[in-house]
Amino acid sequence: LSEIEDALGVITTEALDSLINVLPESELEIEVPEIHAFDVGVLGQLLEGKCAEIRQRLFLELQDTAFDKEYYPTKEVYREKVLSWCQLLASRGYGSLSYPEIYGGANHIGEYFAAMETMSYFDISLVIKYGVQFGLFGGSVLALGTEKHHKKYLTQIGNLELPGCFAMTESGHGSNVRDIETTAHYDQHSQEFVIHTPNAEARKDYIGNAALHGRMATVFAQLYLGTENHGVSAFLVPLRDSDNQTLPGISIEDCGEKQGLNGVDNGRIWFEQVRIPRENLLDRFAQVNEEGVYTSPISSDSRRFFTMLGTLVGGRIGIPRSALSAAKSGLTIAIRYAHRRRQFGAPGQPEQLIMDYQTHQRRLMPLLANAYALDFTLKYLTSEYINNQVGNGREIEALAAGLKAYSTWNTTHTLQVCREACGGNGYLWENRLAELKADTEIFTTFEGDNTVLMQLVAKSRLAEFKQEFHDIKFLGLVKYIATQATISLTDMNPIITRKVSKEHLRDSDFHLAAFSYREQHLLKRAAQRLKHRIDQGMNSFQAFNECQNHLIQLAHAYIERVILEQFLWNISRVENTEVRNALQQLCHLFAINLLHKHKGWYLENNYFEGAKSKAIRKQLTELCKEVREISLDLVLAFGIPDKILGAPLGAKGD
């Protein structure tokens, strides 16, 4: 029979099964009762955190008919719709959430971030318009201005009587704020600053609210007193009058259609010798009196510059939280679809759910773990930012920069995978994935280009490393050497590098030790490489440039270690056993996935051997399968109402 089979070209007996093993039609569909692996409500409350009330209130607001969306509006119609949404939210108190109560606010920066995160489930253009008006423009007045500015402007900004812009970015300089070219020369005779765009590259570019609606801008410019440059300061510059007509000396051009976010009126601005009152200098960190004398509470130009920018770090907290909401939306759509969509199967058997395919689990489950890991870490970042607004916030700035980059890169990747996982249905505009992808692409480059931000993170880690050795005493040095020796004896001994048991590979202590080892090894090697070049006479800028790839790896390793620590800490606080077990599975998956991703580095550095690498890969597959079983409950815990999700493909239904 085998010879005949070969001669006829029949490959397997499955060909015969397809002819003789046909099930009755009634047996092809099997109803599976809805059984929850854990209390979804408990997990949902954990994710909502301290700002649960405003999230739920805003979800209800956004389901009102006033927020009904069109799928294919023109750019012009969409912009007016987004403006009307912002006005409506402002009239209900959402615009001034972070402002002092005396100016109509709630004095609650946490609720402001929660509002941004919640709106991001609904419409990203709305979030950006909201963030530009109340976060960047209003936030700059609050953080960089003084009482006279607060009294005059904050109430009008919070209720959107005064639409505004945040004009920092220039065409020729992008993320390099220190070297922007817009100038502000002080005219002592008239008691005015003269704002000017000296060349085409100095135009303010990609400014939200500029093309249509902004009537005033916070403009960053080089402050000149005579011929002396005192560095970058911020100024309030009127753009349009009360009839929305552009003022003399102001030229504005619409950026036009973009890949996404077409509900935001981005524009370009030029200034031609525009005069503003001396009082329009936002003077918290730099003052100029009537005689043109410059003073500052911070003597160092460099420290003053970074202190000023540090007050605006809130944008790098709102953006990653917004990005995470988009990723959660994408995952909800793709995972629910995968639990309904059937494709292929054994001959004569029902088609199989695509979520039961190993490749589908491998694509989506690690991304679900990432979403939970980032959720806990971004809440930690927000809390640290709120609690450290007074004092040295350099560590918070670095963490915000790194998490902004990590989260937005993760969202871009997540939405691409979710779109592919939904096939052609994911390409339809009505199912939101195309919209989410288009609108969040820019997140990787605004509020700071991600690669540049990761370099900032690496610099921060090196500065801390240098300070540790600068402050260290003899006994501290002995302790440091002993610690390094202990790591070599424990983590690097042959038994550990070859250990492949399930218990070991799913041990959170092992995960954290591996993450910490990679970070510390990359940190020490980066410091050595930089020092070697500088000792040979190379300037620090060139030395840094030659080590950039290494430094980016260091930044990633630092952020991943922080994320894992926060994930573990949050799990330790959960009292409900089933919820804690579910989160523990996700945390194991998050860690194992990254160990697998970085296996080349660990193998090169002899942290584990080939057999262990293979065992990690096996655990990754098993964890994806286990998390698949609870994945519907995990996305249900995100708590996104069907109307807000806006995707028939991912609707939960009744």
| Measured distance CA(278)–CA(283) in Å, rounded | 10
Q: What is the pLDDT of residue 570?
A: 96
- Compute the average pLDDT of residues 582-611: 96
pLDDT at 138 over 90: yes
Q: What is the pLDDT of residue 389?
A: 54
**Maximum CA pair distance of the chain?**
107
pLDDT at 168 over 50: yes
pLDDT at 446 over 80: yes
| Cβ contact 559:381 at 8 Å | no
Grade residue 431 by pLDDT with cuts at 50, 70 and 90. Answer: very high
pLDDT at 494 over 60: yes
Selection from 388, 527, 518 nearest residue 464 by Cα: 527
Intra-chain end-to-end CA distance of the chain, in Å: 55
Grade residue 308 by pLDDT with cuts at 50, 70 and 90. Answer: confident
pLDDT at 483 over 60: no
SS3 435: helix
- Compute the average pLDDT of residues 136-141: 95
- Of 651 and 414, more confident: 414
pLDDT at 176 over 90: no
Grade residue 8 by pLDDT with cuts at 50, 70 and 90. Answer: low
| Measured distance CA(294)–CA(309) in Å, rounded | 19
- Compute the average pLDDT of residues 127-143: 96
> pLDDT tens, 185-197?
999 999 999 999 9
**DSSP H or E run through 339:** none
Task: Write out the two tokens for 560.
Answer: 């991943």
Q: What is the pLDDT of residue 205?
A: 95
Percent with pLDDT over 70 in the chain: 89
Q: In three state form, how does the secondary structure of 131-182 look?
A: HHHHHHHHHHHHHHCCHHHHHHHHHHHHCCCCCEEEECCECCCCCCHHHCCC
pLDDT at 15 over 60: no
pLDDT at 592 over 80: yes
Residues 6+ apart with CB under 8 A from 426: 333, 334, 337, 418, 419, 420, 433, 434, 649
**Residue 87, class by beta-carbon neighbours within 10 Å (0-12 exposed, 13-18 middle, 19+ buried)?**
middle
| Cβ contact 224:183 at 8 Å | yes
Calculate the average pLDDT of the chain: 89
- Compute the average pLDDT of residues 212-236: 95
Percent with pLDDT over 90 in the chain: 74
Q: What is the pLDDT of residue 22?
A: 43
How far apart, in Å, are the Cα atoms of 201 and each of 210, 258, 269? Answer: 18, 21, 11
Q: How many CB atoms lie within 10 A of CB 501?
A: 9
Dihedral, CA of residue 395, residue 401, residue 403 and residue 408, to nearest 10? 180
pLDDT at 654 over 80: no
> pLDDT tens, 53-90?
999 999 999 999 999 988 767 899 999 999 999 999 99
Grade residue 395 by pLDDT with cuts at 50, 70 and 90. Answer: confident
Grade residue 177 by pLDDT with cuts at 50, 70 and 90. Answer: confident
pLDDT at 30 over 80: no
| Cβ contact 592:620 at 8 Å | yes
| Measured distance CA(254)–CA(566) in Å, rounded | 43
Grade residue 366 by pLDDT with cuts at 50, 70 and 90. Answer: very high
Q: What is the pLDDT of residue 92?
A: 95
pLDDT at 3 over 80: no
| Measured distance CA(237)–CA(277) in Å, rounded | 9
pLDDT at 495 over 80: no
Task: Write out the two tokens for 312.
Answer: 């605006």
pLDDT at 549 over 70: yes
pLDDT at 11 over 70: no
**DSSP H or E run through 311:** none
| Cβ contact 141:150 at 8 Å | yes
How far apart, in Å, are the Cα atoms of 246 and each of 235, 242, 304, 602? Answer: 18, 10, 33, 59
Residues 6+ apart with CB under 8 A from 203: 170, 171, 197, 268, 269, 270
| Measured distance CA(106)–CA(98) in Å, rounded | 6
> pLDDT tens, 497-546?
778 899 999 999 999 999 999 999 999 998 888 888 888 888 888 888 88
pLDDT at 324 over 80: yes
- Compute the average pLDDT of residues 270-279: 97
Grade residue 34 by pLDDT with cuts at 50, 70 and 90. Answer: low
Count of all residues that appear for the chain in the document: 654
Q: What is the pLDDT of residue 391?
A: 43
Chain Cα centroid distance, residue 392 = 23
| Measured distance CA(516)–CA(520) in Å, rounded | 6
| Cβ contact 637:47 at 8 Å | yes
Grade residue 301 by pLDDT with cuts at 50, 70 and 90. Answer: confident
> pLDDT tens, 92-126?
999 999 999 999 999 999 999 999 999 999 999 99
pLDDT at 18 over 90: no
